[in-house]
Amino acid sequence: MKKCIFFDLDGTLTDSGEGIMKCAQTVFEHFGMQAPDRRELRSFVGPPLYKSFEKFGIPNDKIDEAIKVYRKRYNTVGKFENRPYDNIEILLSKLKNDGHRLFIATAKPQTVSVEILRHFGLYEYFECICGAGDDGTRREKHQVIQHLMQNCQNLDNIIMVGDTMSDVEGARICKIPVIAVLWGYGDCDQLIKNADSTAESIKELYAVLSK
């Protein structure tokens, strides 16, 4: 059965942790705060930035400033401290050739997401790329998914693929099934418990999507 597959970007298609964590560290330095350790900084990959900064003690009235500081580094340097996971392009090519329709649903700003996908030669595989709006809209994963569902035609058999609980929860709100990949930045135990199915490798993900 042909599917409409909504892919997360960070931690699912590309290993973007290095750039994201370095940019987060820059924010804590900006405010004169002790940065979380590297293990804790991993949680910045996936969820909306404002939620991560709230979690680590950035005051509410400073979050917009924190995001500006983060993006100043990310938009010039951090976005390319990144690489596609091995065999991701092979997966996308096979899925496309099998007749599935591929989409991006990411909490990352849409303009930057397009630029990253073009940089790594992955842009051509996707029918539509949807991320957070440059005007501050679609900050939550479920809002991104809803935007795709409302603005793309003839969507049947939709399934979300992501690596964090943000992806799982967004899919749940939108009442679509979700596959959690276990090579990214999410808590594997939580993902196994809450996702409809999981995949530990690209090969396994292809097999699950091909059922």
Residues belonging to the active site:
8
Coil/strand/helix, residue 6: strand
Structure token pair of residue 59? 């005051």
Spatial neighbors of 46 by CB under 8 A, at least 6 apart, are: 8, 10, 11, 107, 162, 163, 164, 166, 167, 184, 185, 186
Find, among 135, 100, 51, the residue nearest to 210 by Cα.
100
Q: Output Rg (C-alpha) for the chain, integer angstroms.
A: 16
Strand order in the sheet with 158-162: 128-132, 101-109, 4-7, 158-162, 178-181, 197-199
Cα 95 to the center of its chain, rounded Å: 19
Structure tokens at 202: 């690209």
Give the Å distances, CA to CA, from 120 to 116, 123, 134, 153, 189: 6, 8, 22, 27, 31
